[in-house]
Structure 1
């Protein structure tokens, strides 16, 4: 019995040190070498933090690029999709309402040309990016409202388009928060 007791105590202490001391120190050390030292990449404007680079925000004013819809209203504490399938009548009605709203605010756009990401939520509900195509389709509306040339706004989108990692992994994308901040600074 003594041998089992001491073995159990040694195993418990070893596991405790490994999981409560060493593992957290390893995770903390990895965070220190990560971008922004594990605190998240923030985006600043006018000297103050206005958002995080990896978390989407809601933009629906016509003078801004609209973001991708969110099933969780951009709540980072409760990320997730709607879990409604593409044949769910409630989901289809929601997507149709988004299409109708987009067409009202972008009358020059045809329904067939609307990128799906502008009317469907991402899996996490927090996607901060759009494809360049989804940004470019909004250019006429924004240029008209802000009294800018479409070329100026298109150049801004092109400047803020991020290429795939190593040129291979993932699609081109545009961070909508960073793009809208740059749009405000464009005068």
Structure 2
């Protein structure tokens, strides 16, 4: 019995040592992370958000008595408006997401081709090679509210004809609503589609 006791005692000591050096610190770290990220961090971000426009709830604009979020893509299909990026979630902010289909997926390629044909049909003066990718491919969130300057310019002729306005007037709307890169360095210049269309309606 004494021989087995000599083996059992070190094993017990090792077990307690492992618990003390690994398990207990892991539990402490878990508790700390739960308190920090669920409480302190969350409240800190909430406090910072109070300094942002609309207290972090996003910028809201009211049009004809209806509220719209500037930072969430809206669906526009009429010829008199600038079109937004396609959306895999049909512009539903409650279900943000992409299609999860790869660039070689046959269904995805067919969907993009359908969008290209639809765009060319409504914008006959635009060549296939002139269509920016964001006008025929959905963003990862499905809610991107912006398009590129080129993405707006290729729609000028259609909108001008639909509204009986000069193309120069539509181009001016784009220029007046262009958002420059942050600090002149970060990100491309872009335009918010909702802002553009609100400005168009004001012209008429």
Fold conserved between structures, TM > 0.5: yes
Residue of structure 2 equivalent to 1:111: 128
Unpaired segments ≥5 residues, structure 2: 1-30
Shift in alpha-carbon separation, 1:144–1:28, aligned structure 2, 3 A: same
Q: 1:92 aligns with which of 94, 101, 109?
A: 109
Residue of structure 2 equivalent to 1:32: 50
Distance 1:57 1:151 in 2: 25
Larger Rg: 2
Query: SS at 2:50's partner residue?
Result: helix
Listed one character per residue, the Cα deviations across residues 18-50 of structure 1 (whole Å, up to 9, x for unaligned) are 66664444233112112221121112335x453
Query: SS at 1:33's partner residue?
Result: coil
Distance 1:185 1:158 in 2: 16
Distance 1:93 1:71 in 2: 14
Once the two structures are TM-superposed, the CA of residue 147 in structure 1 deviates from its matched residue by 0.3
Residue of structure 2 equivalent to 1:10: none
Q: What is the aligned-residue RMSD (CA, Å)?
A: 2.2
Distance 2:36 2:161 in 1: 61
Count of residues in correspondence between the two structures = 176
Higher helix share: 2
Q: What's the TM-score once normalised by structure 2's chain length? A: 0.79
Is contact 1:128–1:176 with CA below 8 Å preserved after alignment?
Answer: yes
Residue of structure 1 equivalent to 2:165: 148
Once the two structures are TM-superposed, the CA of residue 86 in structure 1 deviates from its matched residue by 1.1
Shift in alpha-carbon separation, 1:114–1:20, aligned structure 2, 3 A: closer
| Stretches of 4+ aligned residues off by more than 3 angstroms | 13-25
Distance 1:117 1:15 in 2: 39
Q: What's the TM-score once normalised by structure 1's chain length? A: 0.86
Distance 1:17 1:117 in 2: 41
Distance 1:84 1:21 in 2: 37
Once the two structures are TM-superposed, the CA of residue 80 in structure 1 deviates from its matched residue by 1.2
